[in-house]
Homo-oligomer: A and B are copies of this chain.
Amino acid sequence: MGSLPRKIEIREANQALILEAAEKIFAMNGFKGATTGAIAREAGLPKANVHYYFKTKLDLYREVLRYILSDWMSAASTFEAHDDPAEALRTYVTAKMAFSRKRPYGSRVWAREIMSGAPVLEEFLGTTLKAWVKERTGIIRCWIRAGKIKAVDPQALLYMIWATTQHYADFERQIIILNSGNELSESRYRQRTRQVVDLVLGSVGLTSQVR
């Protein structure tokens, strides 16, 4: 199948397998609570094999976070795709909701890392994310000065968007239980995404055009 040497194929396939298993186990139990044995079991490999591809548990954890970060940043980049605040916010919130749906484990690993004091993500938060926030709050301030949206605190708005969208990943279990044990269907989730968009737009004084 693949044209590249089989050895490399195997290596990448196994690494991906382990990373995916690790993301799930770390999401479930956090860094300290996760065991390399559980990760190996989840991946269907012997423990020693996990340690062959990733020297230590911390190395593996760092790799998982790096993997999540790349997806997070690509959702983040949708923010400035539009000039119009309504369109920009709608696109961003929709992208974040999609991320929560597609990678709930990733979101939970992130949340647990922060709750543990962000020992690994500290540097990223203090540099890349901080710069991102500064830029984005600048854009929001522009919108306010231009009278395009209500005068809200940009950071409070950003945090509300993060919190609300990530809630659907991090608290998925709670949402399911409150929904009588049923997962939100694909169509219900799309509907909910629209409702969240409407709430966010409403919070800055923009009424959704559809209604």
A interface residue numbers (CB < 8 A to B): 27-34, 108, 111-112, 114-118, 122, 125-126, 129-130, 133, 150-153, 155-157, 159-160, 162-164, 166-168, 170-171, 173-175, 177-178, 181, 192, 195-196, 198-200, 202-205, 207, 211
Contact = CB atoms under 8 A, between A and B. Distances in A.
14 contacts: A31-B33, A32-B33, A111-B171, A112-B112, A115-B170, A118-B174, A155-B178, A156-B196, A159-B164, A160-B196, A162-B171, A163-B164, A163-B167, A163-B171
Contacts of A207: 205
A11 to B, nearest CB: 30
Query: Which 9 pairs from chain A and chain B are nearest by CB?
Result: A32-B33, A163-B167, A33-B33, A203-B203, A163-B163, A156-B195, A199-B203, A202-B203, A153-B195
Give the secondary structure class of A's interface: helix
A118 B173 contact: yes
A117 B170 CA distance: 10
A71 B29 CA distance: 25
Nearest to A175: B159
B30 A177 contact: no
A164 B160 contact: yes
Given A32-B33, A133-B178, A151-B211, 20 more contacts: A28-B116, A30-B112, A108-B115, A111-B115, A114-B173, A115-B171, A115-B173, A126-B181, A150-B202, A156-B196, A160-B160, A160-B163, A160-B167, A160-B199, A162-B167, A163-B163, A163-B166, A200-B203, A202-B202, A203-B203
Given A115-B112, A160-B164, A130 B202 contact: no
A158 to B, nearest CB: 9
A179 to B, nearest CB: 9
A159 B167 contact: yes
